[in-house]
Amino acid sequence: MIGQTLSRYTITAEIGSGAMGEVYLARDNELQRNVALKVLPAEMAEDRQRLGRFKQEARALAAIHHPGIVVIHSVEEADGLHFITMELVEGSPLSAAETGPSLAWPRFFDVAIGLADALGAAHAQGVVHRDLKPDNVMITGDGQVKILDFGLAKLVRPESLPGDISVTAKLDQTGSHILGTPDYMAPEQVRGHDVGARSDLFSLGAVLYLLITGHKPFTGQTTAEKLAAVLRDQPLPPLSLRADCPLRLSQAVMRCLAKDPGARFNGAADLRDELREIRVQTCRGDEGTVRSIAVLPFSDLSSTQDQEYFCHGVAEEIINALTRIEGLKVASRMSSFQYRDLGGDSREVGRKLGVGTLLEGSVRKSGSMLRIMAQLIDVTDGCHLWSSRYDRELRDVFAVQDEIAQCIVKALQLTLAPDRTARLVEARTNNPAAYDFYLRGRDFFRRWGKRNVEIARRMFGQAIELDPLFASAYAGKADCFSYLYMYIDSSAENLDQADRLSSQALDIDPALAEAHASRGLALSLSRNHQAAAREFRIAGELDPSLFEPYYFHARDCVVQGKYDEAVEYYRLAAKVSPDDYQIPILLAQVYHALDRPRDEEAANRLGMELAEKAILLNPEDARACYMGAGAMVRLGQRDRGLKWANRALALDPDDPAILYNVSCTYAWLGKIDEAIDCLERTVRIGASYREWMENDSDLDPLRGHPRFLSLLESLAK
């Protein structure tokens, strides 16, 4: 079929054979992207009932949105052939990966947890795979696990999962064999009995057994011998074949391989959580491995309940200090602060964050007095490793933060580098009131929006008045002017202020990473790209855990058309702050420019999911609304994207950044007049996005409209 065109797809190469047909590489001539195209066998296409069931099951699979499951685009018919189009996954099959003692534990857990999580997503939609094996698992170039070939999948009622499921593994038309792969089939599947989610868990257990030991749990010379072994034999525990296998992991795999489905895990999500706990224990228990911690936002116990910004600041300073300790993995601020309203089991929070320990705390602030309480919790059993209470004056807040960080180091038996033994938390200022204003400013700045940034600018200004040598406050105020220049008013005055204040911050403290990041941003806005890159690199070297240098360096690369470099810096930013919704959505735009549609779609999907999480935490996050809306529209969720765009506009109808981005979404949706209305309002407010309007591809649908042309002409005067 090479060279043949089906509908709008030109077949260019054969990829292989799946459970339900031949798989080809094809070019979608309409969307200009490569896809995998599976042509269904003639016997299935001719059986109207079987074909109908397959289409129904394919639709169910297409509804699953998970990065670990191959995406089905469509089920189509052309020239008498029935076929499905799917995401083209490039990488190597798991069967080609190293197994046994040569497979490092961190990599094993990445694959195992990824598989369990993906299976859980499929089961939640009522889809069971029935043929999970290494050949049906792909590892992409960036290490992502992808489950392929749901050709034998069956659709069941989601409410029946994960327990007893009425899906029967039937013999084929001749009764000669059972659907599935003998090496990885569950006993009930071999017998032709009902199969379901727990049958998939048996198959996954067999895959994990192979990864750990390098051997299949059931062997035989013939198919009959293999099937008999599945029904009869009890394999040796993985620990017997690999001495460094954690006992709990060996037990988990053997539980998956139980002959009785009822003795296995209740569902893939339970197995995933168990694997996460084992990973944490393994990392904590092995000499030379990385210990891990998440610092949750401290609770506000002040009588007026208006000190949340201060409580968050206390926790954040501790996070910043801990990130500089070698051998300690620290969850990012954005990740851990999702759990600011804990109210549940701290062990569950730790499992979700993938860490071995949690730091919880509270702050009671009254006038110049502080009471800070902190406790370090072992995620595995919920026991306290350490706790303490500090009654101090406000001016001692940095000393308290340092003491807490030092106690964590001792409790986790970490070794500090020689240059870190004196202090982990350095005092930013000797003026408590200046520090209070600084924390208020940082809190408002992170909320985005014109009004919040203006308040932040005033807060930083108050801090500078109280302490003219407060370098962090100068950097914060510089960032406010940079924001105003980028999104609100591209005036020379705003740019000059960003330039002046960032220079002052560096003059006061040349070793402050934040100051170099602020300076880099100001220089990038002045198109001094080489100097900006130098400042971003210095900031990253001074504090590798700082998000801003990577993020703004990536954006500066985009401005210069250096898209490959932009991808790398966005990835570094995502590593520091994996829950930031801006990064994947902006990265999707870079992938679009690089003509990498699969990466673009995956990035938009991740960005949309992270934006949804951000909205749950802060319903007034207008930026999450309009950026999430853009991702939704590009993923085909038009009605939902429109709803989110309108929500962003309702939050602040006079913010130019919101108006411009909502305009882009309207343009994508074909709402031309509404899009131009928003752009005209940005101009009336005083913002000028002339360069963006002239070059932004999102606005291409507006190009020939008289109102849009008139608007561009007015900006040129």
In angstroms, rounded to a whole number, what is the distance separating the alpha carbons of residues 272 and 269?
5
Residue 360 is classified by DSSP as E
SS3 content of the chain, % helix, strand, coil (to 5): 55, 15, 30
In angstroms, rounded to a whole number, what is the distance separating the alpha carbons of residues 598 and 707?
35
Cβ(377)–Cβ(412) below 8 Å = no
Cβ(23)–Cβ(37) below 8 Å = yes
Cβ(377)–Cβ(357) below 8 Å = yes
CB contact set of 104 (below 8 Å; sequence gap of 6+): none
- Which tokens go with 82? 């029935």
In angstroms, rounded to a whole number, what is the distance separating the alpha carbons of residues 34 and 112?
29
- The vertex-351 CA angle with 631 and 599, nearest 5°, equals 25
- Which tokens go with 655? 């913010």
In angstroms, rounded to a whole number, what is the distance separating the alpha carbons of residues 412 and 386?
10
In angstroms, rounded to a whole number, what is the distance separating the alpha carbons of residues 645 and 663?
9
- The vertex-164 CA angle with 160 and 165, nearest 5°, equals 65
Phi, psi (deg, nearest 5) at residue 386: -170, 150
Give the rounded distance of the alpha carbon of 98 from its chain centre.
26
Question: Locate tokens 């180091």: which residue?
Answer: 409
Strand 357-366 relative to strand 291-295, pairing: parallel
In angstroms, rounded to a whole number, what is the distance separating the alpha carbons of residues 54 and 52?
5
Contacts of residues 401-408 at CB distance under 8 Å and 24 or more positions apart, as own/partner, are 401/314, 401/317, 401/318, 401/321, 401/425, 402/321, 404/318, 404/359, 404/361, 404/372, 404/374, 405/318, 405/321, 405/322, 407/374, 407/376, 408/293, 408/318, 408/322, 408/359, 408/376
**Is omega for the bond preceding 162 within 30 degrees of 0, making it cis?**
yes
In angstroms, rounded to a whole number, what is the distance separating the alpha carbons of residues 76 and 59?
12
CB contact set of 480 (below 8 Å; sequence gap of 6+): 441, 445, 453, 454, 456, 457, 460
In angstroms, rounded to a whole number, what is the distance separating the alpha carbons of residues 53 and 155?
9
Taken in order 448, 452, 453, 456, is the CA torsion positive or negative?
A: negative
- Which tokens go with 158? 């989601």
Taken in order 552, 558, 561, 567, is the CA torsion positive or negative?
A: positive
In angstroms, rounded to a whole number, what is the distance separating the alpha carbons of residues 607 and 582?
7
117, 131, 579, 652: which is the annotated catalytic residue?
A: 131
C-alpha dihedral over 379, 380, 383, 387, to 10 degrees? -30
Spell out the alpha helix ranges (H) of 242-332: 247-256, 268-285, 308-322
Phi-psi region of 366 (alpha: psi -120 to 50; beta: other; left: phi over 0): beta
Question: Locate tokens 């034998």: which residue?
Answer: 152
Q: 79 catalytic, yes or no?
A: no
Q: Is 260 in a helix, a strand, or coil?
A: coil
Residues with catalytic function: 131
